[in-house]
Chain A
Amino acid sequence: MLRFVNLTILTAIIGLVVYAAAVLILNPWRLDTVVFTQGRAVIAVLLAIGLLVVLPSRLRDRIAALAIVVVPYYWLLALFLVPFIIVLKISLSDIELAIPPYTPTLDLGEGWQGIKDFFAGLDFENFEFLTTDDLYWKAYLSSVQIAFLSTVMTLLVGYPIAYGMANAPTHWRPTLLMLVILPFWTSFLIRVYSWMGILSTEGYLNQVLMWTGVISEPLTILNTNVAVYIGIVYTYLPFMILPIYASLERMDVSLLEAAEDLGCSRISAFWLITVPLSKSGIIAGSFLVFIPALGEFVIPSLLGGSRTLMIGKVLWEEFFNNRDWPVASAVAVVLLLILIIPIILFQRNQQKQREAEG
Chain B
Amino acid sequence: MTRTTWFNTVSLTLGFAFLYLPMVILVVYSFNDSKLVTVWGGFSTRWYGELIQNEAFLNAAWVTIKVAVFSSTIATVLGTMAAYVLVRSGRFLGRTLFSGMIYAPLVMPEVITGLSLLLLFIGIGLDRGVLTIVLAHTTFSMCYVSVVVSSRLVSFDRSLEEAALDLGCTPFTAFRLVTLPIIAPAVISGWLLAFTLSLDDLVIASFAAGPSATTLPIKIFSAVRLGVSPEINALSTIMIAIVTVGVISASLISKRATLRQEAEERAAMRG
Q: Contact residues of A with B, CB < 8 Å?
A: 2, 5-6, 9, 31-34, 36, 58, 61, 64-65, 67-69, 71-73, 75-77, 79-84, 86-87, 90, 100, 157-158, 160-161, 163-170, 176, 178-183, 185-191, 193-198, 200, 202-204, 207, 234, 237, 248-249, 251-253, 256, 291-292, 294-298, 301-302, 312, 315-316, 319, 325, 328-329, 332, 335-336, 339, 343, 346
Considering the chains assembled together, what is the distance between the CA atoms of A158 and B239 in angstroms?
26
For B220, the chain A residues whose CB sits under 8 A away are 189-190, 193
On chain A, the residues within 8 Å of B225 by CB distance are 301-302
17 pairs, A vs B, C-beta closer than 8 Å: A36-B131, A61-B172, A68-B81, A68-B85, A72-B142, A75-B142, A79-B117, A83-B119, A87-B116, A167-B4, A169-B2, A195-B22, A197-B26, A202-B38, A298-B203, A328-B115, A332-B111
Contact of B109 among A170, A249, A301, A335 (CB under 8 A): A335
CB–CB B117/A71 < 8 A: no
C-alpha gap A292/B111 in the complex (Å): 11
> Contacts A87-B115, A168-B12 hold; do A190 and B240 have CB atoms under 8 A apart?
yes
Interface size class of B (residues with CB under 8 A): 35 or more
> Knowing A76-B101, A176-B12, A189-B220 touch, does A329 contact B115 (C-beta < 8 A)?
yes
> How far apart are B94's CB and chain A's nearest CB, in angstroms?
7
- Would you call B228 and A196 a contact (CB within 8 A)? yes
Known: A100-B123, A178-B251, A297-B203. A167 touches B112 (CB 8 A): no
Bound CA span A167–B15, Å: 14
How far, in angstroms, from A180 to B20 measured CA to CA in the complex?
A: 10
Which residue of chain A lies nearest to B220 when distances are taken between CB atoms in the complex?
A189
Closest 7 CB pairs of A and B: A295-B109, A161-B15, A83-B116, A160-B11, A194-B22, A253-B1, A164-B8
**Interchain CA distance A346-B103 in the complex, whole Å:** 12
Task: Report if B42 contacts A (CB, 8 A).
Answer: no
Binding site for A on B (CB under 8 A): 1-5, 7-9, 11-12, 15-16, 18-20, 22-23, 25-26, 29, 37-38, 77-79, 81-82, 84-85, 89, 92, 94, 97-98, 101-102, 104-105, 107-112, 115-117, 119-120, 122-126, 131, 135-136, 138-139, 142, 146, 170-173, 176-177, 196, 199-200, 202-203, 217, 220-221, 224-225, 227-228, 232-233, 236, 239-240, 243-244, 246-248, 251
Known contacts A61-B170, A68-B84, A302-B224; A164 and B11 CB within 8 A of each other: yes
Given contacts A61-B172, A302-B225, contact A312 B111 (CB under 8 A): yes
Chain B contact residues: helix, strand, loop or mixed: helix
User: CA of A303 to CA of B25 in the docked complex: distance in angstroms?
Assistant: 17
Q: How far is the CA of A215 from the CA of B142 in the complex (A)?
A: 50
Looking across the interface, which residue of chain A has its beta carbon closest to that of B98? A73
Given A83-B120, A197-B26, verify A189-B1 contact (CB < 8 Å).
no
- Residues in chain B near residue A77, CB distance under 8 A: 101
Q: Which residues of A contact B199 (CB under 8 A)?
A: 187
Question: In the complex, are the beta carbons of A194 and B26 less than 8 A apart?
Answer: yes
CB of B219 to closest CB in A, whole Å: 10
